[in-house]
Amino acid sequence: MTDLFSPARFGAINLANRVVMSSLTRNRAGAGNVPTPLAAEYYRQRASAGLILTEATPICAEGHGYPRTPGIHTPEQIAGWQQVTDAVHDAGGKIALQLWHVGRISHPDLQPDGILPVAPSAIRPAGQVFTGEGMKDFVTPRALRTEELPALVAAYARAARNAMDAGFDGVEVHAGNGYLLDQFLRSSTNQRTDAYGGSKENRARLLLEVMDATCSEIGSERVGVRLSPVTPFNDLSDDNPQETFDYVVAQLNPLRLAFLDVLQGTGGAPREQWLPFDYDRLRALYEGNLIRNNGYDFATAQAALSSGAADAIAFGRLLLANPDLVERFRRGAPLNPPDYATFYTGEAKGYTDYPFLQD
């Protein structure tokens, strides 16, 4: 019977178990948005997970929307990530880089030369962004011109190549959580009238072009994708999410990706407050390895795997607070509680100082 401790093969990536570390922004990059030796230790500590998905990592300078998020678009960043992948591999782990462009979820203070953030359409998101100098209101982004999109697609492929140069086992294209590719997918944020807007087929076009280019660059067996069909995070929604994401998932099948990572639910809300969506339908449609993500504990994860509802389960806060989560699950040991106050600040505190069982 398949369970959390069963090995798996996701494309070209061999997993020792089916516990996946979900992508978790930690805001601890150094100068130049370069990963630090502290990041190498953080990920090394969690290398017993079958697969680590890194914090979201901007593909270009314009892709940044938060302070101190590590990029993958300069030689220094590539070298910084090489320290991370070396540390994880030396500990016997596997690690994939999550490729990110925030789109409109940014601010001129975080953009090169103070330019406007870009988006599918010039629609300002509700809320504020932390700029490093306090909270500021989001601005109205600049709508990307049709002729700019090929260069954007190429930036994803180039970032994937950079990830391979940094020693990663694969990449995950971030197409969820209200960021740029998700903004193109959703009807509330995409009001374009060109070939990239309107119908679900048009709204999915950019994502599918990005996936094609990334797979062509490094091989589909090392590429995954994150989707989050109903999360309202970053002020977006869709008129018919089931129809939209059924279409997207069906179109991904011919690529033979390493995995599809589906973030279920609506952020940190309990399951009874999740917006309606049939995730089992996605499972039926998708022909590859499926990771289910959000709100799982040991028992519900085991049940999902044994029923065939998923091929692996991603854990976020549990792995953040329990670097040896796999061993704790094996032993039925107590879990460390996460320190929410240090999620995005604190350097080593709340980052590399969570105790292991032997401590």
Average pLDDT over the chain, rounded to whole? Answer: 96
On whether the 8-293 domain is CATH 3.20.20.70, my answer is: yes
Q: Average of pLDDT values for 93-101?
A: 99
- Alpha carbon 218 to chain centroid distance? 18
Where do the domains of the chain lie? 8-293
CB environment 102-130: b (16+ within 10 A), e (fewer): bbbbbbeebbeeeebbbbbbebebeeebb
Predicted local distance difference test score (pLDDT) of residue 85: 99
Predicted local distance difference test score (pLDDT) of residue 263: 96
* 3-state SS, residue 186: coil
Predicted local distance difference test score (pLDDT) of residue 9: 98
| Whether 279 is catalytic | no
**Confidence band for 236, pLDDT divided at 50, 70 and 90:** very high
Q: Average of pLDDT values for 49-67?
A: 98
State the Cα–Cα distance between residues 159 and 155, nearest whole angstrom: 6
Stretch among 84-88, 228-232, 269-273 having the lowest mean pLDDT: 269-273
E strands, the chain, where? 8-10, 13-15, 19-21, 51-58, 95-100, 118-119, 128-130, 135-137, 142-143, 170-174, 223-227, 259-263, 290-293, 312-315
**Confidence band for 1, pLDDT divided at 50, 70 and 90:** confident
- % residues pLDDT > 70 (the chain): 99
Q: Average of pLDDT values for 94-123?
A: 98
Predicted local distance difference test score (pLDDT) of residue 274: 76
pLDDT digits (tens, 9 = 90+) for 115-168: 999 999 999 999 999 998 889 999 999 999 999 999 999 999 999 999 999 999
Active-site residue (options: 42, 179, 247, 296): 179
pLDDT digits (tens, 9 = 90+) for 204-214: 999 999 999 99
